[in-house]
Amino acid sequence: MTQPKKGPSIKQKKLPKKVQEAIQKNQQGKKWGRQVKKNLARPELPQIKADEVFKDRDGKKHTFSESALKRVAAHLLQKNKKQWRYRNFSFPVVGHTGNEMEVTFDFYVYDSNETIVRVILVVPSESRELWDRLGLFKKQFPMYQHEVWTPEVMAELLEKSWLGY
């Protein structure tokens, strides 16, 4: 039998000084795992009056006095000349454990053939539960394209001249 070599193991070897300094410098500023944005400031969205009236594709009038985000979303859709409806229709979604949940979208965008092109959910912030439900929705209703509009997304869309569909 041969005996193992004497001497320092790989873990015990001395690294060059420059390498040690680089590792220390890198470990001080780096955090492992998912990085959270430090800038939590909300983007500036246009202030739309609570009594402003938006007309959907059927001519039905909506004011959205309860939600400033929905007013901005309706403004975006109207500005881009999209045919939309506001409906609180819930899609039943079956979870992984067999329990039934609901996914409720706010706006339904149509094309000229009266086919739903997009379903839009307006939320103040994203959450893991929201993305879990949307993942289940996507599996069970693959025919619908969905979008989640947060204040950050709406700020980006306001800068663009078109929505892309």
128-142: pLDDT as tens digits: 999 999 999 999 999
Nearest to 74 by CA among 91, 60, 90, 86: 86
Contacts of 31 (CB under 8 A, 6+ apart): none
Of 106, 98, 145, 97, nearest to 124 by C-alpha is 106
pTM of the prediction?
0.70
What residues of the chain score a pLDDT lower than 50?
33
pLDDT in tens, 45-77: 888 898 999 999 999 999 998 899 999 999 999
